[in-house]
Structure 1
């Protein structure tokens, strides 16, 4: 039997999130030597290397990635038990910024469960485009942000893979003799480049049939039948479908969504981040 000390696990989680012992030490209010010792003790305890070390910092090994969700679960459950036994509840207000495409899909169930379990935590949900969310986060106007991982030059707490699917109205017919009418993201959107790049790689004749600045605009243009829109499956509107492979379009476009939190956040925001991490199975693989 392995007795996993929560103090060791907290050090492990901090280093896994930040990527350096010095950064983790500052967050935990411990010395670098203490954090390094705790990591070594944990690795000795489990009998495997949890981090690979380089001049750029520390990154999780395969065994470290296996340990990560268990460490989060153990630490969070311990915190929850303490709160329930003492009758303590968290009262806080969180500024959560979410890209519209993600807020309309996978995150709803997680936030609903969080709210049901933490009725005294208020959440201000700010829906903005990816780059605007990054700007707000960098300016300290958000506690937590969920946006495209290319928009923020820092390591996310968690990352999920999403795919943009070529979406059309159910009765839409592709005319092979004409350029494909593509509903394109606005120029500043980080998904514009991979979308146009995927089309260019296949040497496909296409045209911009419409520019959509929001998810609602994209969904409306698709439902009206203006053209083909790249959309996350969970946001595809009713009466629409994904084009099959026979359309000669490139495959689904891979994008990465990251969860970010400020280095110093209130207890409620920290608990929300941990809650999302614990329920990551509800999110895309």
Structure 2
């Protein structure tokens, strides 16, 4: 019978800290260990997985291909471990938790998870920040936010926990009638919005004329502009409202490129409350797997 190798959670936690905090010294300061002790733990982990996990690139340390593969497993294993510990230390869930949600993505089910979390954890203060995805990524890197949901410009990004695919669709008021001789009236979020870029790319590819007639940062304003017949826009199924209909290729609206969306956080920086919210959000994502194509990181 084959002997299975166990990966100790303390080694995995150290590995995550080195990658996400940017080096052995910072990981050691965070974990309360010396730099030699951190290096020793990384070497022990490399022995267990039989592969080099980190490489030096200039002054920065980056995970190898094997390290990237292990990182996704390690984050999930540590999340589950900390979720179990958190269950027995519920009184530790206090403090402020800063969450970033994108203005250009339907997050209704995520907002429900956040609301339930707030009701179940009254000692935790939530601060929700809505912005363009590119801004949310910057805020997370700068430690201005703890957890973000954001559209991904590339398939691999730091601090990624879960990723899934969303398919944008063209939305218009039920009474909207397209006039081929007139430019398509677009409603969109400001420059930098992924949905805006996809609409313009799709129309340019078919040489359809367009003009932006409504610009606003919030989803509700955009929805109202569509319902009032002012414009058409790109939404997800979750943000389609009664009184709207989908526009398709038969009406001259080409299919839009899908979006890759991710859940991001820096595990070493998260409080017990943050770890619990991450688990709640992951559970919420799993529950909508039939509407969004969930991908393994």
Q: TM-score range by the shorter chain?
A: 0.7 to 0.9
Tell whether 2:273 aligns with 1:268. yes
Counterpart position of 1:207 = 211
**Shift of residue 222 of structure 1?**
1.5
Match of 1:108 among 106, 111, 123: 111
1:163–1:136: structure 2 CA closer, same or farther, 3 Å change rule? same
**Shift of residue 230 of structure 1?**
1.4
Could you list the per-position Cα deviations for residues 225-270 of structure 1 after superposition, in whole angstroms to 9, with x for gaps in the alignment? 2232012332222232332233443432436556345974544235
Counterpart position of 2:264 = 259
Tell whether 2:198 aligns with 1:185. no
**Shift of residue 7 of structure 1?**
0.4
Counterpart position of 1:124 = 126
- Aligned pair count reads 279
Q: Secondary structure at the match of 1:128?
A: strand
Counterpart position of 2:168 = 164
- Tell me if the contact between 1:165 and 1:242 (Cα under 8 Å) persists in the aligned partners: yes
- Tell me if the contact between 2:188 and 2:195 (Cα under 8 Å) persists in the aligned partners: no
TM-score normalized by the length of structure 2: 0.71
Counterpart position of 1:30 = 33
Counterpart position of 1:97 = 100
Q: CA RMSD of the aligned region, Å?
A: 4.0
Counterpart position of 2:44 = 41
- Taking the TM superposition and a 5 Å limit, the aligned residue runs for 1:8-27 are 8-18=11-21, 20-27=23-30
- Taking the TM superposition and a 5 Å limit, the aligned residue runs for 1:146-157 are 146-148=149-151, 155-157=158-160
Could you list the per-position Cα deviations for residues 44-71 of structure 1 after superposition, in whole angstroms to 9, with x for gaps in the alignment? 324456x463625324637844x55553
Tell whether 2:251 aligns with 1:219. no
**Shift of residue 219 of structure 1?**
0.7
1:114–1:136: structure 2 CA closer, same or farther, 3 Å change rule? same
1:85–1:188: structure 2 CA closer, same or farther, 3 Å change rule? closer
- Please give the alpha-carbon distance, in whole angstroms, between the structure 2 residues aligned to 1:45 and 1:135: 35
- Please give the alpha-carbon distance, in whole angstroms, between the structure 1 residues aligned to 2:80 and 2:103: 31
**Shift of residue 206 of structure 1?**
1.4
More displaced 10-residue stretch of structure 1: 5-14 or 249-258:
249-258
Q: Which residues of structure 1 form unaligned runs of 5+?
A: none
